[in-house]
Amino acid sequence: MGKLAVVILAAGKSTRMKSKTSKVMHLLAGRPLITYSIEAAAAVNVRPLVVVAGPDQRDVMAEVKSRGGIVAIQREALGTGHAVLQARPALSGFKGRVLILCGDAPLVREETLKKFVSEVEEQNAVCGVLTMEMKDPGSYGRIIRDLDGQPVRIVEARDAHKDDLAVKEVNSGIFCVEKKWLFDTLTKIEPKNHQKEYYLTDIAHRAISEGKKMVAFPGGGDPREFLGVNTRVDLAEATACMRERINRRHMLAGVSIVDPERTYIDADVRIGNDTTIWPGAMLLGKSRIGSACTIENGVVLKNSTVDDSVHIRSYSVIEDSSIARAAVVGPFSRLRPASVIGKNVRIGNFVEIKKSEIKEGAKANHLTYLGDATIGPRVNVGCGTITCNYDGRAKYRTFVGEGAFIGSDTQFVAPVRIGRGATIGAGSTITKDVPPKALALTRSPQVIVKNWKPKRQVKGKR
């Protein structure tokens, strides 16, 4: 494959999305739309990478620069041809072909792009357009061919005649063009259309009229691959297609997904083989899940790391945390950011952990809050235990030593340290450090009143 640069068109506004967020920055499977075009281009080994953005799209600019791309600004929305022309300065020193992609078309596969570029190169074409067949072409531009099947022009739907609108082969918006000819031609096209815009598609007619080789390459396969996202409806359709791809990829790699249509896995999630995902699970962000894990129904896992053989039970929510090998979490547990769960730890139902480390073999099986705490190995935390870590101004830590036994309904008023092997009696409020192997309890004496008779209730009153 010869030298290849890429220009990605991303200056479109979010008018039909009805959003203040740039259209290409809306999320699809956990990532901005434009990142898919950038990564597809990278897979085809294109350099340099130029993204055309609007002057106010700072979110787009930041994303592109973070990925090593160059930003070109289209200050006026004068059409796709005008947009590509804004990339000319950034490509001044480049010689080769330019691959033109759309930032709002996230489903295009790298294999399709490679085949397309190879076809353009093999035919030594000055201009190539990637096409697709659609049952309902709608607003897509039509590919008009002559009786020999050769492309003669691309007609935008709003400018097309009735016979043209019957054509099912449409322009995907993806072009591969010889760089010098591209920019020379873009300076010559005129806005002779209903929109008074400079259409990129006009370069195809120019190539043919000049007797240059022009290729219209059918992409084939699933037409959803070329879906452009302009509305929230389009975004939902693209998301469903991407989710299907992602789930299929994981299943082919050895992950069991019980109900793929009801399982939501973001694009950057990684899962080891022999793991089972139950319906309703949402695995988000850059989460990493090891082998032989079980993720039950309704689990939400975001930007977290899960080691091998972990069992996360139903409806647990885990964010920015890590879980070590063979731990069990849930059901109905919540791990808030910066929680570190050690090997063979048991975190049970209605337990909330925040910015705490629970070390190997410790257990907190039910109805507990552990915030800003370090819980040592093999500690047993009884039901209803609370770390009182906030005094209204600052937060303080609680430390519990190895093998300590914490009775039910204990409150630790931080900062406080519990020694190794200590026992805390049920119902205690601990405000001072407890030495190793000591028993600490704070209880009022039990009072029994014999022959107690409650006051009689007056009839009709309470």
Among 73, 77, 69, smallest CA distance to 89 is for 73
Q: Which residues are catalytic?
A: 366
CA separation for the pair 34, 51 (Å, rounded): 9
N-term to C-term CA, the chain: 88
Cα 140 to the chain's mean position, in Å? 28
Reduced 3-state DSSP string for the chain: CCCEEEEEECCCCCCCCCCCCCHHHCEECCEEHHHHHHHHHHHCCCCCEEEEECCCCHHHHHHHHHCCCEEEECCCCCCHHHHHHCCCHHHCCCCCEEEEEECCCCCCCHHHHHHHHHHHHHCCCCEEEEEEECCCCCCCCEEEECCCCCEEEEECHHHCCHHHHCCCEEEEEEEEEEHHHHHHHHCCCCCCCCCCCCCCCHHHHHHHHCCCCEEEEECCCCHHHHCCCCCHHHHHHHHHHHHHHHHHHHHHCCCEECCHHHCEECCCCEECCCCEECCCCEEECCCEECCCCEECCCCEEECCEECCCCEECCCCEEECCEECCCCEECCCCEECCCCEECCCCEEEEEEEEECCEECCCCEEEEEEEEECEEECCCCEECCCCEEECECCCCECCEEECCCCEECCCCEEECCEEECCCCEECCCCEECCCECCCCEECCCCCCCCCCCCCCCCCCCCCC
Cβ(271)–Cβ(250) below 8 Å: yes
Neighbours of 188 (CB within 10 A): 9
CA separation for the pair 429, 438 (Å, rounded): 15
Greatest alpha-carbon span in the chain = 112
Phi, psi of 117 (to 5 degrees): -60, -40
Neighbours of 355 (CB within 10 A): 18
Q: CB-based burial of residue 150 (10 Å sphere; 0-12 exposed, 13-18 middle, 19+ buried)?
A: exposed
